[in-house]
């Protein structure tokens, strides 16, 4: 029976609309995985060396244990944003002779070997082997410590599934994490001591390693019964209907013909969880520059420039990157309405440009205290985003063709993830070029000239608007039929 379910998954993957794109994305995801496995293994080997030679601590295991509580806390956050909860086409299975227990068990167990779980081993094993080799540690203690840590990895795994499907659990855990972070930040409470004591006890008393696994069984049952209870079309699988509120947005009328579309896109962002998530992710870009703050020596000025440029491009890359897929569910309507392709695309472009101008203004306020160079970098990046990247994103959109299911967060089994690999990929050519131009400018002249050069390209791009749009419209027109066809295959 389980085999049949696996078959279904297999077919679902290979029969989706734009398989080509999905294959490339898959291949890149695999490459990414190999990369992370490599990094993690190196980290496992290196952390031992670091803790014994470069920054020697008395007991490397104790030191690692201190940090573990934060590792797991961040692990949950990372999982929440990147790991998809199990997806199964449930409704059709409900009345087949597959027992509900089997359906849920399959949905929950197919992710056991998920990358997010397995990768922990690539750190744990090399690190533990080195500890063992040093001869200072008990093999049984290390084994039980490993098992306990693995148990916690799986606890975060099922916690993630739970918070992904249950808002109450989400708020509870989010509040918990914020509390931990807050207490640590204001130095009210030092968790590292407890973390160290807790995890070290698994080493000292091997039997205690059973505890996390007992907790895991408990948690699994909790998630299991939650999902099983949800297997009715009027409970967990129910389409939750939110009460609608009429939004007029008449203040947008000042934008003339554009306002018609602006209103709709605004409603889309407010009312579709998927779109909302994407925009929120875009807002976080504003703070990207802070990562590189005060670190110019380490990263070099062109990396810092990259960060400043990125900070104004959140909406452009995240939301703009998925134009016209946002309209995929009603693309035929758009293609039949009393608007020409040119106007439709210009309205999308204007939305992206308006948001980018706003982001540039906010970012320049945020980073202005960093001095004139930072301010220039933000503005130059913003100009480039408006004058070049705006077109590029729109143009790439003609080829994207993956439909977006706007109502996707309907049930616990639905796909909720807003960040997609492809949209991140397109950003590479959009970023490498300006950073390179900046690098040339700052290398041969100075940083300000570098900024000016990038900004100038942006201004030139703006000047070419009509010519570029002709080209974009042409591309969209020639791709129209295959786009319509690809959008037909929803989800």
Partner 1 sequence: MISFKNILKQYSKQTVLDIDSLDIPVGQTFGLVGNNGAGKTTLFSALLDLIKPSKGKVTNNGVDVSQSEDWKSFTTAFLDETFLIGYLMPEEYFYFIGDLRGLNKKEVDIFLSQFEDFFHGEILGGKKYLRDLSKGNQKKAGVIAALIGEPKVVILDEPFANLDPTTQIRLKAIVKDLSENKDVTVLVSSHDIQDVTEVCERIVLLEKGRVIKDLITSPQTLKELESYFKGE
Q: Apex CA 359: angle with CA 357 and CA 363, to 5°?
A: 120
**Gap between the Cα atoms of 240 and 412, Å rounded:** 11
Residue 168 or 240 having the CB closest to partner 1: 240
Residue 202 or 469 having the CB closest to partner 1: 469
| CA quadruple 264, 267, 272, 273: dihedral sign | positive
List of long-range contacts for 286-295, beta carbons under 8 Å, 24+ apart? 286/311, 286/312, 286/314, 286/359, 286/362, 286/363, 286/366, 287/311, 287/366, 288/314, 289/363, 289/366, 289/367, 289/374, 289/378, 293/370
Give me the DSSP letters along 287-346: GHHHHTTT-HHHH-HHHHHHHHHHHT-HHHHHTGGGTTGGGGGGHHHHHHSS--HHHHHH
**Gap between the Cα atoms of 368 and 372, Å rounded:** 7
Residue 177 or 484 having the CB closest to partner 1: 484
To partner 1, the closest distance from the beta carbon of 250 in angstroms equals 9
Residue 225 or 485 having the CB closest to partner 1: 485
To partner 1, the closest distance from the beta carbon of 113 in angstroms equals 36
Residue 100 or 271 having the CB closest to partner 1: 271
According to DSSP, residue 245 is labeled -
Residue 26 or 488 having the CB closest to partner 1: 488
To partner 1, the closest distance from the beta carbon of 241 in angstroms equals 5
**Gap between the Cα atoms of 227 and 411, Å rounded:** 10
Residue 268 or 459 having the CB closest to partner 1: 268
Residue 22 or 264 having the CB closest to partner 1: 264
The answer for residues whose C-beta is within 8 angstroms of residue 412's C-beta and 6 or more apart is: 85, 164, 165, 166, 226, 227, 230, 236
Looking from the CA of 4 toward its CB, the CA atoms found within 13 Å total 8
Which is nearest to 279 in space by CA: 266, 288, 261? Answer: 266
Residue 287 or 341 having the CB closest to partner 1: 341
* Residue 465, token pair as written in the block: 């608007």
Give me the DSSP letters along 13-72: HHTSTTHHHHHHHHHHHHHHHHHHHHHHHHHHHHHHHIIIIIS--S-HHHHHHHHHHHHH
To partner 1, the closest distance from the beta carbon of 417 in angstroms equals 19
- Which parts of this chain interact with partner 1 (CB under 8 A)? 239, 241-247, 260, 263-264, 267-268, 271-272, 329-333, 335-341, 406-407, 481, 484-485, 487-488
The answer for residues whose C-beta is within 8 angstroms of residue 113's C-beta and 6 or more apart is: none
Which is nearest to 408 in space by CA: 250, 226, 271? Answer: 271
To partner 1, the closest distance from the beta carbon of 125 in angstroms equals 48
To partner 1, the closest distance from the beta carbon of 10 in angstroms equals 24
- Cα 266 to Cα 249, 313, 471: the distances in Å are 9, 18, 27
Cβ burial of 255 (10 Å; 0-12, 13-18, 19+) is middle
To partner 1, the closest distance from the beta carbon of 232 in angstroms equals 19
Residue 30 or 249 having the CB closest to partner 1: 249
To partner 1, the closest distance from the beta carbon of 429 in angstroms equals 30
Residue 253 or 295 having the CB closest to partner 1: 253
To partner 1, the closest distance from the beta carbon of 355 in angstroms equals 19
- Cα 126 to Cα 112, 129, 132: the distances in Å are 22, 5, 10
To partner 1, the closest distance from the beta carbon of 20 in angstroms equals 18
* Residue 345, token pair as written in the block: 């695309």
Residue 303 or 484 having the CB closest to partner 1: 484
Query: Terminus-to-terminus CA distance in the chain, angstroms?
Result: 25
Strands (DSSP E) along 185-237, which ranges? none
To partner 1, the closest distance from the beta carbon of 490 in angstroms equals 9
Residue 330 or 436 having the CB closest to partner 1: 330
Q: Is 173 helix (H, G, I), strand (E, B) or coil?
A: helix
To partner 1, the closest distance from the beta carbon of 372 in angstroms equals 44
To partner 1, the closest distance from the beta carbon of 253 in angstroms equals 10
């Amino acid at each position: 029976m389980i085999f049949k379910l696996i078959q279904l998954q297999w077919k679902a993957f290979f029969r989706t609309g734009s398989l080509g794109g999905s294959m490339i994305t898959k291949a890149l995801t695999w490459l990414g995985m190999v990369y992370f496995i490599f990094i993690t293994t190196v980290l496992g080997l290196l952390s031992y060396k670091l803790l014994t030679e470069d920054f020697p601590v008395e007991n490397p295991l104790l030191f690692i244990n201190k940090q573990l509580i934060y590792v797991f806390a961040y692990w949950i956050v990372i999982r929440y944003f990147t790991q998809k909860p199990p997806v199964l086409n449930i409704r059709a299975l409900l009345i087949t002779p597959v027992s509900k227990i089997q359906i849920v068990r399959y949905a929950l167990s197919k992710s056991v070997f998920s990358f997010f779980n397995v990768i922990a081993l690539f750190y744990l094993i090399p690190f533990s082997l080195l500890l063992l080799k040093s001869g200072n540690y008990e093999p049984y203690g290390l084994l039980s410590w490993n098992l306990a840590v693995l148990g916690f990895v799986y606890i975060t795994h099922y916690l993630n599934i739970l918070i992904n499907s249950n808002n109450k659990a989400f708020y509870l855990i989010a509040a918990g994490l914020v509390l931990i972070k807050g207490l640590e930040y204001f130095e009210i409470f030092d968790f590292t001591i407890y973390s160290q004591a807790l995890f070290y006890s698994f080493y000292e008393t091997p039997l205690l390693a059973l505890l996390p696994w007992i907790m895991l069984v408990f948690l699994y049952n909790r998630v299991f019964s939650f999902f099983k209870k949800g297997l009715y079309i009027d409970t967990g699988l129910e389409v939750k209907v939110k009460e609608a509120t009429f939004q007029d947005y008449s203040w947008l009328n000042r934008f003339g013909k554009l306002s018609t579309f602006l209103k709709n896109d605004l409603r889309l962002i407010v009312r579709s969880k998927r779109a909302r998530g994407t925009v929120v992710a875009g807002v976080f870009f504003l703070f990207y520059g802070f990562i590189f703050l005060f670190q110019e020596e380490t990263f070099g000025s062109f990396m810092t420039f990259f960060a400043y440029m990125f900070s104004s491009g959140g909406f452009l890359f995240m939301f703009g990157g998925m134009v016209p897929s946002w309209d995929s569910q009603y693309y035929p309507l758009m293609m039949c309405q009393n608007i020409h392709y040119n106007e439709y695309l210009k309205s999308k472009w204007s939305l992206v440009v308006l948001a980018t101008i706003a982001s540039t203004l906010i970012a320049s306020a945020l980073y202005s205290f960093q001095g004139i160079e930072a301010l220039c970098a933000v503005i130059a990046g913003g100009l480039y985003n408006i004058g070049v990247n705006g077109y590029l994103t729109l143009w790439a959109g003609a080829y994207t063709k993956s439909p977006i299911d706007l109502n996707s967060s309907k049930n616990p089994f639905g796909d909720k993830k807003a960040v997609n690999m492809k949209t991140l990929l397109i950003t590479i050519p959009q970023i490498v070029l300006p950073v390179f131009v900046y690098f040339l400018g700052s290398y041969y002249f100075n940083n300000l000239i570098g900024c000016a050069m990038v900004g100038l390209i942006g201004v030139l791009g703006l000047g070419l608007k009509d010519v570029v749009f002709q080209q974009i419209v042409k591309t969209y027109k020639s791709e129209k039929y295959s786009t319509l066809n690809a959008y037909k295959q929803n989800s």
